Amino acid sequence: MDETGSARSFLASGQAYDQFMGRYSRPLAVAFVDAVGVASGHAVLDVGCGPGALTGVLADVVGPEAVSAFDPSPPFVAECTARHPGVTVRTGRAEAMPFGDARFDFALAQLVLHFVDDPGQVASEFRRVLRPGGVAAACVWDFADGMEMLRLFWDSALVVDPKAPDEAQTLKFGRQGEITDLLEAAGFGDVTETTFDVQSTYSSFDELWVGFLAGIGPAGSFCVSLGASQRTALREDLLLRLGSPSGPFTLTARARCAHGRSPL
């Protein structure tokens, strides 16, 4: 992921990202870290850290000085650095991780793999930066049916524009076995796959809608690219799909996770 491609839609502020996706990625990070087995004494790398949802959970478990992180988005790097003093945060791409060989016990990529340009190279970089026996782990949203916010959005978007870039069709790794296949092809063993469900409650429909207007990710980028009349039609269709809530409502998001161990 570089600034000429998918990363352009992630040049927003950390606060805007939190409003849109951070509300899901924070609870996801807790489940992710627990499932992978990160514990005190481990050196860990957050691959594609964003503004630092996973970084913060890792720092709580192993201490900030044992955590390194990087992201291709300069605003996110600045935000992660400010939020998590003591963590080493750099600018870089998952295909060329900005850290030395055999440095980490764990390397975790949360909500990253579906945006990288060369997944095979990312898997190779996992092996390079991990110590022998180290663990690589990745999780992504299940775009087909498990991530309600995005699924509902794209269903409405396809009504407005049948050529809308539905993430369930355009992005990889949201289906069972895809992350496992990537890790096993790169030589990782003992690969384990699981799913996590997290939730977020919105105070109103407007709270949900303003997240899309920040232009973050494929959904936000598509939303802000529309003309005023199409955007209004999208908003109205999405509101109807949610049952026209007049107050708070809760949406569920399912993530697929796999982790495996590098050769000794």
pLDDT in tens, 128-175: 999 999 999 999 999 877 899 999 999 999 999 999 999 988 888 878
What type of residue is 153?
Answer: F
Identify the helix (H) or strand (E) that includes residue 31: helix 23-36
Q: What is the pLDDT of residue 200?
A: 96
Start-to-end CA distance of the chain, whole Å, equals: 29
Residue 40 · residue 63 · CB < 8 Å: yes
Query: How long, in residues, is the chain?
Result: 264
Taking residue 170's Cβ as centre, other Cβ atoms within 10 Å add up to 12
pTM > 0.85: yes or no: yes
Query: Is the pLDDT reported for residue 18 higher than 90?
Result: no
* Domains (range + CATH), the chain: 6-261 (3.40.50.150)
